[in-house]
Amino acid sequence: MIIDTHVHLDDDRYRDDLDIVLKRAREGGVERFIIPGADPLNLTRAMEIAQNNSDVYFAIGVHPYDMEAFDAALFEKYINHPKCVALGECGLDYFRLEGSDEEKKREKEKQKEVFIAQIEIAKKYKKPLIVHIRDASRDSKEILLAHGAKDVGGVLHCYNADEELLSLAKEGFYFGIGGVLTFKNAKKLLHALPKIPQEKLLIETDGPYLTPTPHRGERNEPLYTTFVAKKMSELLEIPLETIEKITTQNALKLFNIS
């Protein structure tokens, strides 16, 4: 059994064939699915999918690109939903910052503010965090440490292979590994992978994005976690069944599901 700990099933690109996508995944051994929050506009869709499928869970959160949509009251309204298992994705993403230095600085400050507000909600309701970090390792780590994120822990989803973040394993953080692991140019991640404690490894697709080899260029889907698990097994020289077992146990524990 594999758990896809990060898949945007509420994305429009699954709208026409979601049931088939889920069926394919289940038949291939993927048995739990977690939909991260990104844009609150999709929240009702994510909730609906989780209500209609006993093996699907969701999270509430605002991606740094959608931070203008952050609404603490809305979060508090849904966070105690029985299928809501986490807070996120939230975090920092400096990859697409635009404008003058002054504008970039303001944007960074705003992202930090919204990130911190979400950490506080996670702590208040005791939900783990799904953290998105891109080109912002140092600031993200600093915020997680300074704001006591250790109390709830979480996952650094789509772990960016920055070894500076590895010490967060001791702070209750897991590392979400996805399709990037199968890319030819993923040298950094290949190097970092063995340094992640096994009890902190998670598997994800980030579907519909980041499709693994041999399906690059197509829409990603939860079944393709199988390629990630296989690659992980080869790289770590651990039997595939053991990889599946370890990562599943890790996910069940972090998200408090059965």
> Min. distance of Cβ 133 from Zn ion in angstroms?
8
Report which residue's Cβ sits closest to Zn ion.
132
Which of residues 132 and 141 has its CB atom nearest to Zn ion in the complex? 132
Which of residues 66 and 233 has its CB atom nearest to Zn ion in the complex? 66
Contact letters for Zn ion, residues 123-162 (x by CB under 5 A): ---------x------------------------------
> Min. distance of Cβ 204 from Zn ion in angstroms?
8
Contact letters for Zn ion, residues 187-226 (x by CB under 5 A): -------------------x--------------------
* φ, ψ for residue 173, nearest 5 deg: -105, 140
Which of residues 22 and 210 has its CB atom nearest to Zn ion in the complex? 210
The CA–CA distances, whole Å, from 181 to 124, 128, 129, 189, 211 equal 34, 24, 22, 7, 10
> Min. distance of Cβ 229 from Zn ion in angstroms?
19
Among residues 79, 254, 73, 61, which one has the least CA distance to residue 152? 254
> Min. distance of Cβ 158 from Zn ion in angstroms?
5
Which of residues 10 and 89 has its CB atom nearest to Zn ion in the complex? 89
> Min. distance of Cβ 154 from Zn ion in angstroms?
13
Q: Find all residues with CB under 8 Å of 109, minimum gap 6, and list them.
A: none
- # residues contacting Zn ion (CB under 5 A): 3
> Min. distance of Cβ 241 from Zn ion in angstroms?
27
Instruction: Report whether 121 contacts 95 (CB < 8 A).
Output: no
Which of residues 93 and 244 has its CB atom nearest to Zn ion in the complex? 93
Which region among 71-79, 85-93, 176-184, 189-197 touches Zn ion (by CB under 5 A)? 85-93
> Min. distance of Cβ 38 from Zn ion in angstroms?
6
The amino acid that residue 248 corresponds to is T
Residues 96-125 that bind Zn ion (CB under 5 A): none
Residues of the shown chain interacting with Zn ion in the complex, contacts defined by CB under 5 A: 89, 132, 206
